[in-house]
Amino acid sequence: MDRALETFVAVVEHGGFTHAANALHATQPAVSQQVRLLEQYLGVQLLERTTKRVRLNRAGEVVYYYAKQILQLQRQMERTVQELSGDVAGRMTIGASYTFGECVLPHLVARFLQRYPRVEPVIEIANTQRVMACVEAGTFDLGIVEGDVVPRDGLLVEPLATDAMVVVAAVNHPLCNVRPVSVEMLAETAWLIREPGSGTRFHQDRFLEQLGIVPRRIMSLGSTQVIKEGVEAGLGITLLSACAVRRELQHGSLCVLATPGTPVLRMFSVVTRRTQFEPAVVKVFRETLREQGAAWVKQLSQVQ
């Protein structure tokens, strides 16, 4: 039933069979079959299916609650057995905010796997609020988030590295040739910002508020990559991590504006659950972040 439980949890968390199949690298019929097998085994229907989505019924809510615990306990059992042999191996789920997850984490994971090739990292990129919630719920073993993190009971938050944020525009934007750019000029142009719940959005809002800027137009977009594409296309300007725009600056498609109040400094932090049991693979990866994370952020933040 392990496979059926894992498939059922994926369907619930990804909001349907198609997205779950993509996440599990399986076909949609195979996912549907596993859910049917679980329903047959339990003798009860778990999902209410419509043409657009699936929804848990009361029995499904109960099974989802216990399935999460069963799968988590199984992973802990496997890790404990592996630790008895001194082996750093097995599945590790990492949640990371967009800036760190897209720009820094791949380099760290690549180096980590060179030393520990039997580790199976599962990485999800999400905004800070979702990463925190998933670490708290046990969905992620470890999270890396950005910005000012409000402490929560049951979570450990460890500072990792300082990140520098700069205001950027398309290289052909009129403000690229202005030194310095005034607050009034910043207010007269359109701004592209992240969605609520993002650590980047928190600092974008605070930056505009501290300078007293009320942009003539604001566009909220759901990822850093989309914002960069929009800025390059001339839709407006934005405040982003220097890590996130490093390649665009090197290639000459974006420029850093000489604005007051920049660079904006914020902190990347590692988030884990408070628990007496920390799997060896998570402990070793956390130590790797502590040893190498700040150096990678500094290297990738260098604006040419």
Helix (H) or strand (E) segment spanning residue 275 = none
Distance CA 37, CA 5 (A): 10
Joined tokens for residue 110: 């690549």
Distance CA 160, CA 98 (A): 16
pTM: 0.69
* Secondary structure percentages of the chain, helix, strand, coil, to 5: 50, 25, 30
Please tell me whether residue 274 adopts helix, strand or coil conformation. Answer: coil
Closest C-alpha among 106, 165, 163, 203 to residue 294: 163
- Which CATH fold topology does 1-85 show? Arc Repressor Mutant, subunit A (1.10.10)
Tell me the β-bridge partners of 162.
267
Residue carrying the six token digits 């750019």: 181
Write down the domain spans for the chain: 1-85, 161-267
What pLDDT is attached to residue 52? 66
Mean pLDDT by 10-residue block, N- to C-terminus, for the chain (304 residues)?
A: 86 86 86 90 87 83 90 76 68 91 92 92 89 88 85 86 94 93 94 90 94 93 92 96 92 94 93 82 91 88 67
Helix (H) or strand (E) segment spanning residue 116 = none
CA 139-267-95 angle, to 5 degrees, is 15
Tell me the β-bridge partners of 218.
191
Joined tokens for residue 165: 């944020």
Residue 124: CB atoms within 10 Å: 16
CATH 3.40.718.10 fits 161-267, yes or no: no
C-beta separation of 148 from 163 below 8 A: no
Going by the DSSP 8-state scheme, the letter that residue 136 receives in this structure is H
Going by the DSSP 8-state scheme, the letter that residue 246 receives in this structure is H
What pLDDT is attached to residue 181? 93
Quick check: do 1-85 and 161-267 share a fold?
A: no
Residue carrying the six token digits 């220097």: 242
What pLDDT is attached to residue 164? 93
